[in-house]
Structure 1
Amino acid sequence: MDKHAYPDTTINLSGTFYTVQRGWTEIVKPQTRFISRIPLDRVAVLVGTGSRVKKEIEEKLGVSLRIDSKEGLVETTPRPENAKNWDPINLFKAKDMVEKMKLYDEGEDFLCVHSLKSRPVIVLNFKTYREATGEGALSLAKIAERVRQEQRVNIMVSVQHTDIYRVAGSVNIPVLAQHIDAREPGSWTGHVTAEAVKASGAVGSLVNHSERRLTLADIGACIAALKKLDLLSVLCTDTPETSAAGAALAPEMLAVEPPELIGTGIPVSKAKPEVVTKTVELVRRINSEVIILCGAGISSADDVARAIELGTEGVLLASAYVKAKDQYGLLTSMAKAAIDASRR
């Protein structure tokens, strides 16, 4: 690679200048490191039982954490060989995670909030609502981030493609695309690839939402493309039978939502509970690992609790959150209901 093909970006942090060379897989000139200070009583939180928390951060982000337990200092340095598809931005993500340790009482609580597959799960689909576009999307994502941190529930937001970069770069919360096309990078116009949403900062994508249906072949291709890039796939289905077929494709999450109930405020968990229980039964016969979500009409804390009581591990909702008068209050009540129901 031509060293001059990509312009350098110099970043000033705490009075120290670091240079990131675009397009490279390592940070250069000089070997970068961050020194963060955390309260002494948070050191054990960062380490975790059997060093679990520290190891997971190192492995997922390709960094090395050196901890001075007497001073509360943490040195973060890049170790690209420790992670797949390493990106220089991982170093900044690791620094941010270290400095957020003061918010948590236990390392396992921290992993619960930051693990993409922790349960229970609440996925917020912003759709193309005017209220959830541009600065509106960022505002809604910041509310979700606050609730995620306070309640320690795995909350994700699914935003329009044009808002992925803006939102992912501004909040510490998983951001999903709403759709990808079954296309490899190349001579296609107007298509959105898995590579594109990842480059914008998304951690995954919805697949086959009822408002953006795909053929079975394209569903398989999209899930495969996401897996190849270590991205999360949230497959949307409409019946127990299609859910079982989708489970065979091994998505990370599967959300069943009868389309006739979407946006009605009538939850499938109450209107058609048999759809949920049958879906759980059939999917578990085929795939014991996929996280099953309940969608369509979810609009209250009671709806969330009922969905989990029927055997799912979370919910997918849209208009109830986006158009709520008090998004923070609604989401907080839903998060608490999800936690309580999952413990019963």
Structure 2
Amino acid sequence: MRQGHNKDIEIPMFDLYTISKATNNFSVNNKLGEGGFGHVYKGLFEEGQEIAVKRLSRNSFQGLDEFKSEVICIAKHQHRNLVKLLGCCIEGEEKMLIYEYMPNRSLDLILFDPMQSAVLDWPKRFHIINGIAQGLMYLHQDSRLRIIHRDLKASNILLDSDMNPKISDFGLARCFGGNETGANTSRVVGTYGYMSPEYAIDGHFSVKSDVYSFGVLVLEIVSGKRNRGFSHRDHHHNLLGHAWRLYKEGRSLELVNAHLDVSGYLSEVLRSIHVGLLCVQQCPQDRPSMSVAVSMLANEGLLPQARHPGFFTERDAESSSSTTTANSKNQMTISLVEAR
């Protein structure tokens, strides 16, 4: 396998022939999925290493400069709960990212499937929640650059052979140096249902926007239900509204997936729901930082009362303003800044 090194992007470079051969010439049988970025293919190097190849589509919003900036940002941030970037391929009009392959694919494919979700017992779900929290804490405060992901959701959490979660897809992420923790944008990109109110409405995103998305994920993992599209016979709220209603009535355990046995883990389950609700509070200043959220999940101390969550109850307004991930992706990519 020929492998080079480009000083401009400081990451291993793979030639097109190698990647084409590994993916059986990008065979439809090797296709794992697709999104706004393009198609994702499974590949196998000659020495036996499995890979996942994200191939930038020709009509993607991402240009070469933005692509390189994204690669640099990802390459400099490695953590056990972030998907590992192995290298990239830039040849002619082809632009590809080569990642480690995750055998259990994405969390949403298991979590929201009535049959497959049975493999996710409570210890596995709690392990996934904690892993996502650790990865997000690293991005926000422990990495060389502060990264706001902006599109944290179940389909962007990949699972390895041991069900360890890995945050993936940094196509919409933004990097910051110094003490910056947020910014404003006139182009809101991401996925409705996971987007914080201040970002969806005013275009303001910050580390607390990611915290909100994490809170949504926690409640989805506990319940096995999607926030968007959730329905209940007694009200018209989404999943967050339902969780908030149960919390206020002291019935939080009713949020738990009906087929999930949590009899030996009641305090962990209740704590997870409580932390999830603290993370989705309407006011960004009320939400905990990810380091505080990690501590809350790990310790048995008293938690503050959760306040009203930020969520939309007007179904029609939400659906009419929603944008699919495929259409919203890659309208804005990582900005390259100096390390802090």
Q: TM exceeds 0.5?
A: no
Q: TM-score, normalised by structure 1?
A: 0.32
